[in-house]
């Protein structure tokens, strides 16, 4: 029997020019430190606020596609830098190589660029989600399902009878998906498992927030959700695994020596960090 595998899942970061991103460096350092066999990025790494169809008028003032794109590209470079450096170091020292499978799932925010090009044909070929530089990650299309170790990953899972995401609790989602799954898209963190009559246990994880900033559309009462990444351990190739959530607060304590509630006001004194 093959050795069990480790998978790291990075939920939505929703990066745009004006938001703080020190956690991106922590993510890269942490992933490097545990050397997973597979790295999965949930999608919505880029927020693409300039292309939002929901915001109109004053909120759109000053937004630029080029700035949205580069802020996400630069953050992705920072995330990958320690991973790539460690891989190069191992290769140079002729030690056992670390070659994780790297998966990028496009989210609904990245494909805002594809929608704009589709709606305005003169922009075709000049704007699109492929502008997002995911380096050597395998790039999968929006809502494409990717299987790894018997677990199915997607930005979210669609109701088979409509275009809307499957809703409800994890037990309901497990019934609809029918397999162990991990998805992003929805802020916060929820998990559950279900024992099947065949003797198999399936697990579901929904984790869609890996950022420090506030999302104003969620109002003041919708800001204190979970933020972090997910580790899948003991992946057995048949959908079985154990798991743990690693919060951004944990990473802040590990890499800065301070909890987020102290680190962020110190580094960004003009911001409102009451949600952390």
> Which structural domain, as residue segments, surrounds residue 242?
5-267
On whether residue 176 sits in a domain, the answer given is yes
* Domain membership flag for residue 131: yes
Cβ(40)–Cβ(236) below 8 Å: no
Whether residue 274 is contained in a domain is answered as: no
Q: pLDDT tens track of the chain, all 276 residues?
A: 578 999 999 999 999 999 999 999 999 999 999 999 999 999 999 999 988 766 544 455 557 889 999 999 999 999 999 999 999 999 898 778 899 999 999 999 999 988 887 777 777 777 889 999 999 999 999 999 999 999 999 999 999 888 899 999 999 999 999 999 999 999 999 999 999 888 889 999 999 999 999 998 888 888 999 999 999 999 999 999 999 999 999 999 999 999 999 999 999 999 999 999
Residue 253: both structure tokens together: 């304590």
The CATH number assigned to the domain holding 18 equals: 3.60.21.10
Could you give the count of Cα atoms lying within 13 Å of 160 in the half-sphere of its Cβ?
A: 5
Query: How many domains would you assign to the chain?
Result: 1
Instruction: Please tell me the pTM assigned to this model.
Output: 0.94
276 lies in a domain?
no
Residue 107 lies in a domain: yes
Check residue 27 and report its DSSP letter. H
Tell me if 275 is assigned to some domain. Answer: no
Burial class, 10, CB count within 10 angstroms (exposed 0-12 / middle 13-18 / buried 19+)? buried
120-161: pLDDT as tens digits: 777 777 788 999 999 999 999 999 999 999 999 999 999 988
Domain assignment present for residue 72? The answer is yes
In a domain, 273, yes or no: no
Q: How far is 79 from 208, CA to CA, in rounded Å?
A: 18
Which residues have CB under 8 Å from 8's CB, separation 6+?
A: 31, 34, 36, 38, 39, 40, 229, 230, 231, 232
Q: Are 181 and 151 in contact (CB under 8 A)?
A: yes
Helices (H), the chain: 22-34, 65-92, 112-119, 170-177, 248-256, 260-267
Token readout for 57 is 């008028």
For the chain, the farthest-separated pair of C-alpha atoms sits apart, in whole angstroms, at 59
1 CB burial (10 A radius; 0-12, 13-18, 19+): exposed
What does the pLDDT read at residue 56?
46
């Amino acid at each position: 029997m093959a050795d069990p595998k480790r998978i790291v899942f990075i939920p939505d970061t929703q990066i745009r020019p004006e938001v703080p991103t020190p956690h991106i460096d922590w993510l890269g350092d942490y992933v490097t430190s545990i050397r997973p066999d597979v790295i999965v990025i949930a999608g919505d790494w880029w927020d693409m606020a300039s292309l939002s169809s929901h915001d109109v008028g004053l909120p759109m003032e000053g937004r630029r596609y080029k700035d949205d794109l580069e802020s996400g590209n630069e953050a992705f470079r920072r995330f990958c830098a320690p991973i790539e450096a460690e891989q190069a170091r191992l290769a140079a020292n002729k030690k056992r190589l670390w070659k994780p499978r790297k998966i990028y799932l496009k989210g609904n925010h990245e494909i805002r660029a594809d929608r704009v090009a589709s709606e305005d044909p003169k922009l075709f070929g000049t704007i699109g989600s492929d502008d997002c530089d995911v380096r050597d990650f395998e790039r999968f299309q929006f809502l494409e399902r990717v299987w790894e170790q018997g677990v199915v990953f997607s930005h979210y899972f669609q109701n088979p009878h409509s275009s809307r995401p499957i809703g409800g609790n994890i037990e309901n989602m497990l019934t609809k998906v029918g397999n162990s799954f991990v998805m992003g898209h929805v802020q916060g963190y929820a998990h559950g498992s279900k024992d099947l009559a065949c003797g198999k246990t399936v697990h579901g994880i929904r984790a869609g927030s890996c950022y420090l900033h506030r999302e104003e559309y969620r109002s003041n009462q919708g800001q204190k959700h979970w933020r972090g990444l997910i580790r899948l351990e003991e992946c057995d190739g048949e959908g079985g695994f154990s798991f743990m959530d690693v919060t951004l607060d944990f990473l802040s304590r590990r890499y800065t020596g301070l909890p987020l509630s102290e680190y962020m006001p110190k580094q960004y004194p003009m911001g409102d960090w009451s949600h952390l």
